[in-house]
Amino acid sequence: MSDQVAPPADPRAAIDAALKAEDRPGARRLATAYWRDNSNSSVARYLLARLEQFWPADRVVEHRVAFLRSYTVEPVLPLLQATAALAGCRLVPWVGEFNAYGQEILSPQSGLYAHNPDTVVMAVQTRDISPSLWFDFAGLSDDTVAEEVTAAAARLGKLVEALRGRTSAHIIVHGLEPPLHPNDGLLGQRRRLTQAEAIAAANRALRERLAGLPDVHLLDFDALQARHGRERFYSAKKWAAAKLPLSVEALGWLAAEWWRHLSMLALPQAKVLVLDLDNTLWGGTIGEDGMTGIALSDEHPGVFHKDLQRAILDVARRGVILAIASKNNLDDAMQVLNEHPDMLLRREHFAAMRVNWDAKSTNLASMAAELNLGLESFVFLDDNPVERDAVRRSLPEVIVPELGRDPSTYAGVLRDLPALERLQTSAEDAERTRYYVEQRARREVETSAESVEDFLASLEVQAEITPIDAMSLGRAAQLTQKTNQLNLTTRRFSEAQLAERLATPGWNGYVLRASDRFGDNGIVGVALTHSGDEICEVDALLLSCRVIGRQIETAFLSFLAATARAGGQTTLRGWYIPTAKNAPARGIYEQAGFTRLEARDGAELWHVDVTATDIRRPEWLALRTPSTASGS
């Protein structure tokens, strides 16, 4: 079997032909393969010119990025923009003046703030933040080195803190990198800290200093260089000629690393990783080779499949749900999952399984319905190029990474996939697979219940509403960014934006935690309100899809109404703003007893007189709230 579907002889003609035939998914498949094999500025310009043709207008997400820099970054930008375009993102860059990052941060009139960025990238070299650590290290005493390590971290940290106080954008900060050749050569090994160790210590101090700042993310520039090789990364000639310290190869490596970070901020991240079994999680075919014949061990070649399983477990710990789609006999597959001594993944790791002989596209669609998640949040990993191509054609929303014939590369492919990365996680993320396993148990109870009311009562649902605080801020922001279905306004907030909103007089925010007899769902709901003299307006109300159908949203509104009443307001009102995905939220206000006040371009404004109407929480739900609304 060939490694992959053969590329066309003339990729550009094939892409343009697909676009002319209005086959956008096909054009994107061809363009992605073309870019994978030809990541250069010429191909980047070709792809960027077709961004509007690759995607429907309503699918393209715009993300504004500002670059503060101490070296030339302009040649990287087309490569970055082309990578983003193939993922459906239009990056709008702004580049600050050379080595003027300090002035641009501190001046309210700078182009940085006029650009109104969603993300700011600070790409500053060690030689500019700490010339003494870079140029003069060999002449510094050990005590002076220690002082400069602290000073360098403080110098860069203060700039980031100043930027954080002036914008709600996400901030990506390049860490410091060591020089290719240490100043003192081999003699450095006799020092308290080598030059590389001193710069690493400055990075640790910087990380600790930035840890408390919301939406600030450190890009490990040292590790990026080390991964590809410092000699291959750095170009002394380009630095001398154009203040560009990057080789031609490194332009693509840096673009890929920037996108690895930016994609998590610009686009929804994958939530489900669907895995093939034969020749993916293990080598060989279980139906033909049997338990003793498949390759899965700590020796060649089974070790490569075990490495992949380790990578999958690492991804699952970030909150990604695992599932299986395999053409196999169920009993054979379950025997490996349950009994093979070298299997790291077991049955309990998977929230959904389809082991049958149906088309994998059919099975993926079925799992999406079962998990109540959109197919755009799925990643499908399969060694078989025919299966990959079939899923790409049938389900173009699904992310399907390319796997070659060499299983030693599989773990690396998975670890390098931007859609499975996370810049931060919550306690709920670590428990996500457990939540979905418990949800399967709930569905089994639901099918045996005589009525919906009996089923809901049998769940013994408990909800607790508390104000958003420092501990819940990150999870609240995460829910605003990820929740699509049960979301009345679909307004997105970063941590910094949410903190800024809550610090504004008249604004309040709440999180809702839910549990039942099957387990604790964690924080699953967020509400934001702002109040005037007589009106309390719901700016955002959203609940995780894990709790759809339990009428928890009505309990949330009953609390908001009671809080408005206690605050002296007479009216609680809010908009329903329709999107392609939030139809399940359409009836929330009406079901709670609100009256529609206005309709405009598909959006609806609903209100209720809280002095005359008592919004009753469902009787099967126990609700704990702050003392201001303890009777709701």
How far is it, in rounded angstroms, from Cα 541 to Cα 525?
Answer: 8
Is the pLDDT confidence value at 630 over 50? no
Tell me if the bond preceding 8 is cis, omega within 30° of 0: no
Token pair listed for 235:
């170009």
Is the pLDDT confidence value at 488 over 80? yes
Furthest-apart CA pair in the chain: how many Å?
82
Hey, how many other C-beta atoms are within 10 angstroms of the C-beta on 583?
A: 10
User: What is the per-residue pLDDT across 277-313, written as a single tens digit (0 to 9) for each?
Assistant: 999 999 999 999 999 999 999 999 999 999 999 999 9
Handedness of CA 416, 420, 425, 429 (dihedral sign): negative
How far is it, in rounded angstroms, from Cα 123 to Cα 68?
Answer: 6
Tell me what pLDDT residue 460 has: 87
How far is it, in rounded angstroms, from Cα 317 to Cα 312?
Answer: 9
Residue type, 401: P
Q: What is the 3-state secondary structure (H, E, C) of 345-399?
A: CCHHHEEEEEEECCCHHHHHHHHHHHHCCCHHHEEEECCCHHHHHHHHHHCCCCE
How far is it, in rounded angstroms, from Cα 304 to Cα 297?
Answer: 9
How far is it, in rounded angstroms, from Cα 544 to Cα 553?
Answer: 10
How does DSSP classify residue 60? P
Tell me what pLDDT residue 450 has: 67
Model confidence at 3, pLDDT cuts 50, 70, 90, reads very low
Handedness of CA 134, 140, 141, 145 (dihedral sign): negative
Model confidence at 628, pLDDT cuts 50, 70, 90, reads very low
Residue 156: name the closest of 181, 131, 130, 134 by CA. 130
User: What is the per-residue pLDDT across 299-308, written as a single tens digit (0 to 9) for each?
Assistant: 999 999 999 9
Query: What pTM was computed for the model?
Result: 0.82
Q: DSSP for 164-183?
A: HTT--SEEEEEPP---SS-T
How far is it, in rounded angstroms, from Cα 128 to Cα 99?
Answer: 8
Domains of the chain with bracketed CATH: 1-38 (no CATH), 55-266 (3.40.50.1110), 272-420 (3.40.50.1000), 448-629 (3.40.630.30)
User: What is the per-residue pLDDT across 374-389, written as a single tens digit (0 to 9) for each?
Assistant: 999 999 999 999 999 9
User: What is the per-residue pLDDT across 87-139, written as a single tens digit (0 to 9) for each?
Assistant: 999 999 999 999 999 999 999 999 999 999 999 999 999 999 999 999 999 99
- Please say whether the beta carbons of 573 and 476 come within 8 A: no
How far is it, in rounded angstroms, from Cα 80 to Cα 45?
Answer: 11
Buried b / exposed e along 188-211 (16+ C-beta atoms within 10 A): beebebbbbebbbbbbebbeebbe
Mean pLDDT across the chain, nearest whole number? 93
Handedness of CA 520, 521, 522, 523 (dihedral sign): negative
For the ranges 377-381, 438-442, 490-494, 504-508, which has the lowest average pLDDT?
438-442
Report phi then psi at 424, rounded to 5: -160, 155
Q: DSSP for 306-337?
A: HHHHHHHHHHHTTTPEEEEEEES-HHHHHHHH
Residues in the chain: 632
- Please say whether the beta carbons of 19 and 50 come within 8 A: yes
Tell me what pLDDT residue 5 has: 57
How does DSSP classify residue 481? H
Tell me what pLDDT residue 447 has: 72
Return all residues near 495 (Cβ < 8 A) that are at least 6 apart.
Answer: 214, 215, 473, 474, 477
Residue type, 615: I
Is the pLDDT confidence value at 629 over 60? no
Q: Quickly tell me which residue has 């418990």 as its tokens.
A: 438
User: What is the per-residue pLDDT across 429-473, written as a single tens digit (0 to 9) for each?
Assistant: 777 777 777 777 677 677 767 677 778 788 888 999 999 999 999
CA atoms within 13 A on the CB side of 497: 16
User: What is the per-residue pLDDT across 585-602, written as a single tens digit (0 to 9) for each?
Assistant: 999 999 999 999 999 999
Token pair listed for 60:
């393209």
Handedness of CA 397, 401, 405, 407 (dihedral sign): negative
* % pLDDT > 70, the chain: 97
Tell me what pLDDT residue 480 has: 95
How far is it, in rounded angstroms, from Cα 176 to Cα 550?
Answer: 50
**DSSP strand pairing (119-123 vs 61-69):** parallel
Residue type, 393: R
Q: Cα–chain-centroid distance for residue 345?
A: 23
Tell me what pLDDT residue 627 has: 57
Report phi then psi at 602, rounded to 5: 90, -20
User: What is the per-residue pLDDT across 141-198, written as a single tens digit (0 to 9) for each?
Assistant: 999 999 999 999 999 999 999 999 999 999 999 999 999 999 999 999 999 999 999 9
Cross-strand pairs, 605: 575, 598
Residue 142: name the closest of 152, 133, 155, 153 by CA. 133
Return all residues near 180 (Cβ < 8 A) that are at least 6 apart.
Answer: 230, 231, 234
Angle at the Cα of 135 (from 130 to 141), degrees rounded to 5?
85
How does DSSP classify residue 469? -
Mean local confidence (pLDDT), 25-42: 93
